[in-house]
Amino acid sequence: MKMRLALSTQRRPYLMAVMVFLVLCVINAILQPSFLRFGVAASNVAAFLPMILVAIGQTYVVLASDIDLSAGTIVSLVNVAVVSIIDGMGGSGMSIALGLAIGLGAGLVCGLVNGLCVAVLRFQPIVTTFASGIVFAGLALWILPEAGKQVPPAVYRAYGGMVLGIPTVVLILLAAIVVAAFVSRTPFYHALRATGGNMQAAYQSGLPVAQVRIGAYTMSGLFASLAGVALVGETASGDPLIGGALTLSSVTAVVLGGTALKGCVGGVTGSILGAFILGLINNVIFFAQLPFEWQGLIQGVIILAALAGGVVMERGRQS
Amino acid sequence: MGARMLAWLRNPLSVAIVAIILLLVAGELLSPGFVSQRQIITLLKVAALLGVVAAGQNLVILGGREGIDLSVGGIISFTAFLAGNVMQQQDALLMQGVVLVLAAAFAIGLVTGLGITVLRIPPLVMTLGMLGVVQGGLVLLTRGVPSGRAAPTLSRMVSEPLMLGLPGILFIWILIGAALTLVLRRTTFGFNVYAIGTNEAAAALAGVPVRRTRALLYALSGFFAGAAGILLLGYTEYVFVGAGDQYMLPSVIAVVIGGTSLAGGSGGYVGTMAGAIVLVLLQSILTTLNIPPFGRQIVFGVTLLGLMLLYGRQRRLRG
């Protein structure tokens, strides 16, 4: 039995995250009896969705043993770009379509730039994406210097509403999961993990390492831009600083989900769970009615403990 | 001669020095009077603050194994707050404050170091988690309200001329620079740092106490962040809650610009000092230029990427 469990955690690095997630769900349900109600669950998904999307994109980059510290600023950039285009063109259906298209395109280009710098110009990933993040944040402030502007009600009604009886946010989450499941069955994904496992070996066995890393950064940019669009629906306005905190929390979610920063090991499933865990920790702290001042410290300690726990579990598994 | 010249140009320290001279010339051309004694001293004060943080960052990066300390920003804010509250604007409490704060900062760094060496949590994750804990603790202590004031002697030390028209903070920085360079080049501990950064397995076989050395590096990083917190308090007299955040990633960049490899094992603190000056000069030129904040940010990010092109590049996979 023990061996079977060991084997299964080896094949599924996210099992630890599943356990933490379930424990947090139980605690949350005790503290907040309405937690399991459909409407509350949907509103939780809506609140966590941007972080989930950024974490999915971050996973691809981390699997290739790189990191994207610009993801949060891409979210901000896309958020203000979409809102400004829709607002500037008068909020017609055409303007909404164009805004979304340009927003997603911008995220894609940002990711592509990161990928080219890291994989072709051979810049160091941490410093590069930090520097490019400064540029993206500057562009966001250029487009919209301070939070404001509005999108027409149709946008946030569609986002907060239902399609065929299912909340739009849940559909977006499901769509993201389907896309991720599809990607994980492509040759790209296998090349990605090979690259993360041993870049030199992957290169020497003929894998297109540079293209794969560029692809991973592009995916990160794309998912970050989806998060930016989701935030347009959620807040109905633009904010050039809205994505700032998402960068580090996306990395945290990825690690909580069992993906190794060294690359190769892990996957999107874990990262989605990791993002849920981070969101639920906030919920639990809120509903536990702790004094406001204690929230940050307790949140920090829980996250640190969860991170440490995950890593230590993994070590035990390997030895 | 040509080869020698080329080698000199490839040396990050000389590139940083050339960059400093070029930036000074550019500054003087763009806004006459930029290169005045007063202006230079102000710049060096800011560079000294960044340089002291970067000293710790430099050490953990030299120690290899993806060494990085993202908790320095939190520790600076925390220690600046602590120092201000111990000192309460009284010179009699200055020494007490300094000793207490440095001990606390060292202890925080040591906990981080033990997490990384004993629990073997990746540095990026461990220090990120520690950042959350320290920031949470700070909110708990301050309740979000700044409090505490620097002892007058401390403020005078940092801001007013001490000798030869230079403020005390510069002498402190030069002292730290000399001491650190001496320790790295002339002591067993210094050799051990380069040894574990270059090849940990070989170092362990050669009898280097790998874990103890690495844990000490993180403790020292905490210590230097604490020292920077005290100096920051002296510089601004009282500090707001997130005052240290702005030093986190620039400290990494100063190290990289200074020619220390993020892979560990090569580089030194003299380069980092030059790197800190380059960063601060660049920021200051952008501030004197009459362009809006977003423009400054974009130029800053693009310049960082340009600097990476000069020498932040990683080795080729081919060959």
Work out the minimum CA distance from B312 to partner chain A, whole angstroms: 6
Work out the minimum CA distance from A288 to partner chain B, whole angstroms: 17
Work out the minimum CA distance from A162 to partner chain B, whole angstroms: 36
A135, A251, A298 member nearest B298 (Cβ): A135
Average pLDDT of span B260-285: 89
Helix (H) or strand (E) holding A3: helix A2-11
Check pLDDT > 80 for residue A56: yes
Instruction: Give start and end residues of each alpha helix (H) in A36-124.
Output: 38-63, 71-88, 93-115
Work out the minimum CA distance from B72 to partner chain A, whole angstroms: 15
Q: Does residue A201 belong to the interface with chain B, where contact is any CB pair within 8 Å?
A: no
Q: Which two tokens stand for residue A94?
A: 């055409």
Report if residue A176 sits inside a domain.
yes
A203, A204, A303 member nearest B129 (Cβ): A303
What is the rounded distance in angstroms from the CA atom of residue A92 to the CA atom of residue A13? 46
Is the CB of residue A226 less than 8 Å from the CB of residue A176?
Answer: yes
What is the rounded distance in angstroms from the CA atom of residue B124 to the CA atom of residue B27? 36
Torsion angle (degrees, nearest 10) of CA A180, A183, A184, A188 = -150
Average pLDDT of span B11-37: 84
Question: In chain A, what residues touch B249 (CB-CB under 8 Å)?
Answer: 69, 130
Work out the minimum CA distance from B164 to partner chain A, whole angstroms: 37
Going from the C-alpha of B185 to that of each of A7, B56, B204, B231, the distances in angstroms are 47, 16, 20, 26
Check pLDDT > 80 for residue A73: yes
Q: Does residue A121 belong to the interface with chain B, where contact is any CB pair within 8 Å?
A: yes
Half-sphere exposure of A137 (CA within 13 A, CB side): 22
B119, B131, B313 member nearest A311 (Cβ): B119
Report if residue A3 sits inside a domain.
no
pLDDT reported for residue A259: 87
> Which of B126, B297, B299, B318 to mutate to test binding with chain A, by most A CBs within 10 Å of its CB?
B297
What is the rounded distance in angstroms from the CA atom of residue B47 to the CA atom of residue B274? 9
Residue found under tokens 């569609």: A158
pLDDT reported for residue A1: 43
**Count of C-beta atoms within a 10 Å radius of residue B65:** 18
Scanning every residue of chain B, which has its alpha carbon at the shortest distance from the alpha carbon of A255? B125
Instruction: Return phi, psi of residue B150, to 5°.
Output: -70, 150
Three-state SS annotation for chain B: CHHHHHHHHHCHHHHHHHHHHHHHHHHHHHCCCCCCHHHHHHHHHHHHHHHHHHHHHHHHHHCCCCCCCCCHHHHHHHHHHHHHHHHCCCHHHHHHHHHHHHHHHHHHHHHHHHHHHCCCCCHHHHHHHHHHHHHHHHHHHHCCCCCCCCCHHHHHHHHCEEECCEEHHHHHHHHHHHHHHHHHHHCHHHHHHHHHHHCHHHHHHCCCCHHHHHHHHHHHHHHHHHHHHHHHHHHHCCCCCCCCHHHHHHHHHHHHHCCCCCCCCCCCHHHHHHHHHHHHHHHHHHHHCCCCHHHHHHHHHHHHHHHHHHHCECCCCCC
Domain count, chain A: 1
What is the rounded distance in angstroms from the CA atom of residue A146 to the CA atom of residue A140? 10
Helix (H, G, I), strand (E, B) or coil at A186: coil
Scanning every residue of chain B, which has its alpha carbon at the shortest distance from the alpha carbon of A123? B313
Question: In chain A, what residues touch B291 (CB-CB under 8 Å)?
Answer: none
pLDDT reported for residue B140: 87
Nearest of A73, A115, A133, A106 to residue B304 by alpha carbon: A133
Question: In chain A, what residues touch B124 (CB-CB under 8 Å)?
Answer: 67, 251, 261
pLDDT reported for residue B1: 55
Provide the angle, in degrees to the nearest 10, between the axes of the packed helices B12-30 and B269-288: 20
Question: What CATH number does the domain containing A281 carry?
Answer: 1.10.3470
Greatest mean pLDDT among A239-253, B79-93, B211-225: B211-225
pLDDT reported for residue A15: 83
Q: Test A138 with B295 for CB contact under 8 angstroms.
A: yes
The DSSP secondary structure of A118-142, one letter per residue, reads IIIS-B-HHHHHHHHHHHHHHHHHH
Measured between alpha carbons, how far apart are the two ends of chain A, in Å?
18
Scanning every residue of chain A, which has its alpha carbon at the shortest distance from the alpha carbon of B255? A127
Average pLDDT in chain B: 88
Residues A177-221: tens digit of each pLDDT:
999 999 999 999 999 999 998 888 998 998 999 999 999 999 999
Check pLDDT > 90 for residue A112: yes
Given CA atoms B310, B4, B268, B65 in this order, what sign does their dihedral have?
positive
Q: Which two tokens stand for residue B244?
A: 């240290």
Is the CB of residue A119 less than 8 Å from the CB of residue A210?
Answer: yes
What is the rounded distance in angstroms from the CA atom of residue B49 to the CA atom of residue B30? 26
Q: Test B305 with A145 for CB contact under 8 angstroms.
A: no
Scanning every residue of chain B, which has its alpha carbon at the shortest distance from the alpha carbon of A129? B305
pLDDT reported for residue B65: 84
- Partner residues linked to B166 by β-bridges: B163
User: B288 or B181: whose pLDDT is higher?
Assistant: B181
Report if residue A5 sits inside a domain.
no
Q: Test B309 with A123 for CB contact under 8 angstroms.
A: yes
Q: Test B304 with A131 for CB contact under 8 angstroms.
A: yes
Going from the C-alpha of A14 to that of each of A23, A264, A269, A272, the distances in angstroms are 14, 14, 7, 10
Scanning every residue of chain B, which has its alpha carbon at the shortest distance from the alpha carbon of A254? B125
Average pLDDT of span B104-126: 92
Report if residue A124 sits inside a domain.
yes
Question: In chain B, what residues touch A132 (CB-CB under 8 Å)?
Answer: 301, 305
Question: In chain A, what residues touch B256 (CB-CB under 8 Å)?
Answer: 124, 127
Q: How confident is the model at residue B311 (pLDDT cuts 50, 70, 90)?
A: low
**Count of C-beta atoms within a 10 Å radius of residue B122:** 19
Question: In chain B, what residues touch A121 (CB-CB under 8 Å)?
Answer: 308-309, 313
Going from the C-alpha of B272 to that of each of A98, A316, B253, the distances in angstroms are 46, 38, 9
Q: Which two tokens stand for residue B123?
A: 């540095």
Check pLDDT > 60 for residue A6: no
- Partner residues linked to A237 by β-bridges: A150
- Do β-strands A166-167 and B166-167 pair in parallel, antiparallel, or remain unpaired? unpaired
Q: Test A126 with B130 for CB contact under 8 angstroms.
A: no
Report if residue A4 sits inside a domain.
no
User: Angle at CA A192, nearest 5°, toward A229 and A105?
Assistant: 25
What domains are defined for chain B?
37-310 (1.10.3470)
Check pLDDT > 70 for residue B31: yes
Torsion angle (degrees, nearest 10) of CA B211, B212, B217, B220 = 150
Instruction: Return phi, psi of residue A58, to 5°.
Output: -60, -35
Report if residue A121 sits inside a domain.
yes
Domain hosting A125: range is: 14-26+35-318
**Count of C-beta atoms within a 10 Å radius of residue B191:** 15
Residues B240-254: tens digit of each pLDDT:
777 888 888 789 889
Scanning every residue of chain B, which has its alpha carbon at the shortest distance from the alpha carbon of A144? B294
Q: Test B66 with A261 for CB contact under 8 angstroms.
A: yes
**Range B202-231 burial, b when 16+ CB lie within 10 A, else e:** ebeeeebebbebbbbbbbbbbbbbbbbbbb
pLDDT reported for residue A2: 47
Report if residue A187 sits inside a domain.
yes
Average pLDDT of span A255-266: 85
pTM exceeding 0.90: no
Report if residue A93 sits inside a domain.
yes
Average pLDDT in chain A: 88
Residues A269-288: tens digit of each pLDDT:
999 999 999 999 888 888 88
Work out the minimum CA distance from A108 to partner chain B, whole angstroms: 19
Average pLDDT of span A115-125: 91
User: A173 or B296: whose pLDDT is higher?
Assistant: A173
Provide the angle, in degrees to the nearest 10, between the axes of the packed helices A292-318 and A268-287: 150
